[in-house]
Amino acid sequence: MRTREVLAVILAGGSGERLYPLTKHRAKPAVPFGGSYRLIDFTLSNTINSDIRRIFILSQYKSDSLQKHIQYGWSIFSHALDEFIHLLPPQQRINNEWYTGTASAVHQNLYSIKRVVPKYVLILSADHIYKMDYSKMLDFHIKSGADLTVGAIEVPRKDISRFGILRVDKGRRITDFVEKPRVLSSAYFRNSGALGSMGIYVFNTEVLIDVLERDALKETDHDFGKNIIPSMLRSHNVYAYPFEDENKKAAKYWRDVGTIDSYWEANMDLVSVEPAFDLYDMNWPIRTYQPQYPPAKTVFAGGENGQRMGLVLDSIVSNGCIISGGKVQNSVLSPAVRINSYSEVSESVVMDGVKIGRHARVRRAIIDKDVVVPPGTIIGFDRENDEKHFTVSENGVVVIPQGTVLPPVPVISVSHGKNGIANKSTPIAGYDRAGRETVRLPYVQGTC
């Protein structure tokens, strides 16, 4: 099979600065997504589903969690059948620099690539959410006689500055390419947008080696979009392959989750009534590593006058979660999350091991691993107050970094006694509805 002649090289070395603080302790491809997954799982699943089983992952920054995830979840290859997945850190074989661009990352690993002797090299990014059969792109590459084929998708006008933008002739040969333009000639536009590079490339191996070695001798950014592709347009056969979506929805789905807002939006895509991205298609499974947790569980069915109910609406709830008398709506819960009584979580992404205390209210937030949200805490209702303590995105999404220790919220210990007389037994959180720090609850003449 032709896929046996391909080596996949996945670029997983970016620092992910725009996703900070989610990338404070991990590489961007290792950021959790969709409850049970990491970002890199989607690219890796595409390679496996495309029957490509020789894979290099080029890492660089904060790669510890990425390395563990690959070791625990992706050791599914048979070396006896010439299958492998190898994580390659910077080896400084050529110089003492780290990767300075996407082309630099591949160039510094040519030694390893040459040892595999592939006929074709498929270069991929590790932080996009989509489904694609790369074997179809390989077939197009071979039939067209291309030296390089670039995966392409139509992008709206407002997003052109985030992509490499290209023009093609009637045979799909690329005639012009400009990387992340601020201003673009009208000649590039088609329909409601322009044709943008997906950061997916198929190279003939001999061509790849030649252009990378030539580029290494020049003073450039050593980047595929900025340098390699433009330099090849006049000397090589460079073609565009239009994205064919295996997601099987009316609209094509491809997301670059490079910012906090785009990351949050992509997670919310998963919990709509008709999800834009289908995780449940068994014909195109998304694989990952899942710890051995028990099934998810809800506790309390309307106890205490119907106020204490474990309720989940339009949400993803992973293994090991316990919804203990709280309410979760339009949210994504990673494994081992606990939602305690009277709390409410909505439009949020809650990662592994997070504990939400009683009477807490969380809205439009991303809470990273192992955070304990104290009883009565309010997040996502008062932007001015949130910005004093946390990162808040342009669109108002609150981000609480991994392992953050939140201060306890003072409470007033009162409860409804006989005939409405208060007694000191049940804690009631002291906060106002706007989410400001603790206030005294109404208390008049010994009643509440």
Query: Of 157-171, 294-308, 428-442, which has the strongest mean pLDDT?
Result: 157-171
pLDDT in tens, 371-389: 999 999 999 999 999 999 9
pLDDT in tens, 34-43: 999 999 999 9
Class of domain 297-400: mainly beta
Name the DSSP letter for residue 292.
-
Between CA 204 and CA 24 the distance in angstroms is: 37
> How many of the other CB atoms lie within 10 Å of CB of 330?
17
- Boundaries of every domain in the chain: 2-269, 297-400
Q: Among 53-62, 157-166, 393-402, 420-429, which stretch is predicted with the lowest mean pLDDT?
A: 420-429
Bond before 32 cis per omega within 30 degrees:
no
For residue 1, name the pLDDT band (cuts at 50, 70, 90).
low
> How many of the other CB atoms lie within 10 Å of CB of 427?
15
Nearest one of 199, 197, 223 to 211, comparing CA atoms:
223
pLDDT in tens, 327-375: 999 999 999 999 999 999 999 999 999 999 999 999 999 999 999 999 9
Domain with residues 2-269, CATH architecture: Alpha-Beta Complex (3.90)
> How many of the other CB atoms lie within 10 Å of CB of 350?
31
In this prediction, residues 382-409 reach a mean pLDDT of 94
- The strands making up 355-356's β-sheet, listed across from edge to edge, are 297-299, 322-324, 338-339, 355-356, 372-373
Assess whether pLDDT exceeds 60 at residue 413. Answer: no
SS3 98: coil
The three-point CA angle 29-130-321 to 5° equals 65
In this prediction, residues 163-173 reach a mean pLDDT of 95
> How many of the other CB atoms lie within 10 Å of CB of 395?
12
For residue 60, name the pLDDT band (cuts at 50, 70, 90).
confident
Q: Which residues in 192-231 are b (16+ Cβ under 10 Å) and which e?
A: ebbbbbbbbbbbbbebbbebbeebbeeebbbbbbbbbbbb
Q: Both tokens of residue 442?
A: 């109404």
Q: Based on C-alpha coordinates, what's the Rg of the chain?
A: 25
For residue 426, name the pLDDT band (cuts at 50, 70, 90).
very low
Query: Of 119-123, 216-220, 273-277, which has the strongest mean pLDDT?
Result: 119-123
In 236-348, the DSSP E strands lie at: 238-242, 254-256, 297-299, 301-302, 308-309, 311-313, 316-317, 322-324, 327-329, 332-333, 338-339, 344-346
